[in-house]
Chains A and B, each alone.
Chain A
Amino acid sequence: MKKNIVVLVLVCLVASAVVGTVSAKTGIGLSSPGITSITIDKFPFHYSDTLRVYNTGDEESVYSIKIDAPYPDVRDWISVDKDIFTLSPGTSTVVTFSIDAEEGYTGSYTITLTPAIVPKEKANVTGMFVYLALGTPFAFTIDVPNGSLGERPPVPVATPTSEIPEIAKKVAESESGIMWREMGKSIFLDMPSKVYLGDLVRITASFIGGGEPVNMGLLIVSPSEKEYRLPRSTEFRFDEVGTWSVMVVIGDEVILGRSILVLQKGMGAYTPYIAVAVLAFTLLVTILVLLRRKKRS
C-alpha cells in the first residue's frame, strides 16, 4: 500500500513537470476576400466586406486589428467594426471593414489591415527581451483616378485631431465610468475615486484572471488636458485640483475609463457645501445687521 502511494506521488510529480514544460501555443488565422484593388470612380464612395479571424492556438488570446494607410486622410476612410477582441481556442469571428470616402485626392493607396495576437505580459523580464506579435496582414490598393480634390498637394495633409481630449472629457463627466470597447474580457481598474492634491496614488489595471497584454497601459488626463501615458500598474502623483480621467488602453485603443476627483489638501468632500453654508451665514448676518441699523435709525 505504502509502495503504491509512493508510485502515485512520483507519477503526479512527473505529470506536473511535463505539464509545466509544455508551452502554450498562441495562434491566429485569417480568411480574407480575393480583392487586390478597389477603384473609386466617384465620391462619396462606400464599400464594405468582411474578414474572418480565427484563434488557431490552444489558449484564449486578445487580438487587435491595425489599419495602415499612407496618408492620414486616407486612413480616415477605413474602419473596422471591432478593433480589439478576445477569442477562445478553435473559435472565429467575422470583422466587417468599410471604406467611407466623402472626398479625396487622386492617387493609388496601399491599405493594410493586420489582425494580430496581442502578446501577453511576461513576468520578471530582465536583460533584452522582445515580444513577438504574430499577425496575418491583408493588403489591397485603393485607386482614385480622378479625385474630387484633384491632385494631392506636396505639403502633408493636416493630421486629424486626437480624439483623446473628447474621450477624457466624457470620462470625467461620467459617474460610474465608461466602457469604450467590449472586448470579451473583464478588466479591473484598481484606484480610489477621490484623492488629495499631491498624493502619490497606486493605480492598477488588470484582467480578471490574469494574462494581461504587453501593451496594456494607463492614459491619465488632467483637468487642463495634460496627457500621461503610463504602465498598467503605476504610482502617480496628482498635481492639479479637479476631475481627472484615468483610462485603460491597449496599444492606442481606449478600452475603459473612470474619473477621479482631486481635492485641495485640508478640504473634504463636503467643502463646497461648507462654503455655501458659510456664504449663507454671512449673508444672513449682514441682513440682520442692516435690519438692526435700519430699526435704530
Chain B
Amino acid sequence: MGSNKITAVFFAAIVVSATFAFVTPAMAGTQIEVQPVAPVVTNVQCNQSSIDPDTYYNISFSLVDNNGINTTANITVKTWVNSTSEPSSGNNRTAYIFTWVNTTHAWTSDKSGYVDSDASTNVSALSGNSTTVSVIFKLNVTAVPTGAANVWEINVTVYDEDGLTDYDLNASAFDVRTYVSGTTTDVGVDFGTVNPGAATNYIWGNVTFTTNSNASINVTGANLARSTGETIPPTQFYVNGTNTGESGVLTQLGTTAVSFYTNYTQVEDSYATGVSGYNYNEEAPIQWNGTVPMPCRAGTYTGTWAIGIVAAEPQ
C-alpha cells in the first residue's frame, strides 16, 4: 500500500462522512406544506343579451382553483334588476338566486323551478384546476322587463373547502323582454236572436291574463255580416270593463282599437311580495251589449272582434 492509496482512502472516508452528514437528517421524514389558494371567478356572462321569460338560457363563468376545482364548497349565482339592491333572497320579479353545494352536488333555485339541474355543470365531478361553469336558468313570466334605463346584473360568488372565496360581477348582463299572455274559454259572444231595433242581452265574458308590466286591454270591432252581404256595424255595440278598480270603462266599439281597461295592475302582491306593477293570472271581467239597427233583415250575422292585451313600456 503506497502513500497514494492511503491518501485516496482518507479522502473517500471524508467524502462518505460528509455525504452522511448532509443526507441523514433529511431521510428522517419528508414534508411539503401546500398552501390553500383562493378560487378565482371571471368572465360572468349570459349567452343572450335580451332574454324571453319562461325560456331557458345559460349563465357561464370561468372558475380557477389551483387546489383543484373539486375542492369547491359552494357557488351562489344571483341575478337582479339594477334598480334594486343585491338580494338576500329571490322573488319572481326582480331577483333570483341559484346555488350549488358540494353536499348535494346539484344546482337549485331558491324559488323552485328556475334552474335546470341536469343541464347545469356539476362542479364536483370535474378534475383539474380550471373550468367554465354553466348554469341553465329561466325567469318567471312576471320578471321585470328592462331595456330603457334598467338592466339585469349577475354576481357569482365561490367558496372553496378552505373557506377562501372570490366573486365576479357583470353589472350589465342582460335585458328581460316584455311579456304578455292571455287565455279565454269564450269561443265568442253569442247575442242570440234579437228583434230589429231591440237591445241585446248583456253577455258576460272574461280574459285571464299575465303581464310583467302594467297592461291595457282593448277591442277592435268589425261588421257583423249576413251571408248575403247585409251588415251590422260595430258601433252598434258596447264593451264594459266592469272592474272599475282596475281602470275598467264602458266603451263603444269601432273599427280601430279602443281600450276598456286602460291601466290594469295587480293590487295584491303575494306572488312577488313587495314588487307591484304586474298581473299574474288576473281575470278581467268583460260585459258586451248592443242594439240591432232598424230596419235589419232577418238572418244569422257573424263577425270577428279582436281583443288585444297590451303591455306598458319597459323600464
Write 9 A-B pairs (CB below 8 A) sorted by A numbering: A31-B179, A34-B146, A34-B177, A56-B182, A126-B300, A127-B193, A129-B301, A130-B304, A134-B183
Interface status of A27 (Cβ within 8 A of chain B): yes
In the complex, per-residue mask of B178-208: 1 if CB is within 8 Å of any chain A CB, else 0: 1111111111111111100000100001010
Contacts of A133 in B (CB 8 A): 304-307
Whether a CB of chain B sits under 8 angstroms from the CB of A82 is: no
8 Å CB interface, B72-110 against A: none
Residues of A within 8 A of B192 (CB): 126-128
- Name the distance in Å between A216's Cβ and chain B's nearest Cβ: 12
Given the interface pairs A127-B192, A132-B186, A135-B307, the reply to whether A29 lies near B300 with Cβ below 8 Å is no
Task: Report yes or no: B55 in contact with A29, Cβ–Cβ below 8 A.
Answer: no
Q: Which of B291-308 contact A (CB under 8 A)?
A: 292, 300-308
Confirm or deny: A116 has a beta carbon within 8 angstroms of a beta carbon on chain B. Answer: yes
User: Given A34-B145, A125-B302, A29 and B180 touching (CB < 8 A)?
Assistant: yes
Q: Please name the residue on chain A nearest to B185 by beta carbon.
A: A23
The answer to whether B188 touches A26, judged by C-beta atoms less than 8 angstroms apart, is no
Residues of B within 8 A of A116 (CB): 306
How many Å from the CB of A129 to the closest CB on chain B?
5
A215 to B187, CA, bound (A): 14
Q: Which of B21-29, B46-54, B158-166, B271-279 contacts the other chain? A: B46-54
A29 touches B181 (CB 8 A): yes
Q: Is A202 an interface residue (CB 8 A)?
A: no
Question: Once A and B bind, how many residue pairs between them come within 8 Å at the CB atom?
Answer: 161
Q: Which 6 residue pairs of A and B lie closest in terms of their CB atoms, listed nearest first?
A: A34-B147, A29-B181, A27-B183, A34-B314, A31-B52, A128-B191
Q: Which chain A residues border B309 with CB–CB below 8 Å?
A: 134-136
Is B250 an interface residue, CB under 8 A from the partner?
Answer: no
Residue of B nearest to A128 (CB): B191
- If the complex has contacts A34-B148, A116-B306, A215-B304, are A129 and B181 also in contact, measured as CB distance less than 8 A? no
Asked if residues B182 and A122 are in contact (CB atoms below 8 Å), the reply is no
Residue B37 interfacial (CB < 8 Å):
no
Q: What residues on A are CB-neighbors of B189 within 8 Å?
A: 129-130, 132
Q: How large is the interface on B (under 10, 10 to 19, 20 to 34, 35 or more residues)?
A: 35 or more
Find out whether the CB atom of B300 lies under 8 angstroms from the CB atom of A34.
no
Q: Does A119 contact B (CB under 8 A)?
A: yes
Chain B residue numbers with a CB within 8 Å of A57 are: 183
Main SS of the interface on chain B? strand
Residue numbers in B under 8 Å from A34 (CB-CB): 50, 145-148, 175, 177-178, 313-314
Q: Given that A24-B185, A34-B148, A134-B307 are known contacts, is A129 also in contact with B302, CB under 8 Å in the complex?
A: yes
Given A128-B300, A130-B188, 14 more A-B residue pairs with CB atoms under 8 Å apart are A29-B182, A31-B177, A34-B50, A34-B177, A36-B314, A56-B183, A128-B194, A131-B305, A132-B187, A134-B184, A135-B307, A136-B308, A136-B310, A139-B310
B45 to chain A, nearest CB (A): 19
Question: At the interface, yes or no: B141 with Cβ under 8 Å from chain A?
Answer: yes
Nearest-CB distance from B149 to chain A (Å)? Answer: 10
Contact residues in B for A154 (Cβ distance below 8 Å) = none
A132 touches B188 (CB 8 A): yes
Smallest beta-carbon distance B287→chain A, Å: 13
Q: A75 to B42: give the CA distance in the assembly, Å.
A: 46
Q: In B185-240, which residues have CB < 8 Å from any A CB?
A: 185-194, 200, 205, 207, 210, 218, 224, 232
The yes or no answer to A186 lying at the interface (CB within 8 A) is no
- A28 sits at the interface (CB 8 A): yes
Whether B169 is near chain A, meaning CB under 8 Å from some CB there, is no
Known: A36-B313, A134-B307. A128 touches B292 (CB 8 A): yes
Q: Indicate if A165 sits at the interface (CB-CB under 8 A).
A: no
CA distance A32 to B147 in the complex (A): 11
Beyond A129-B190, A130-B191, A131-B188, whether A114 also contacts B183 by CB under 8 A is no
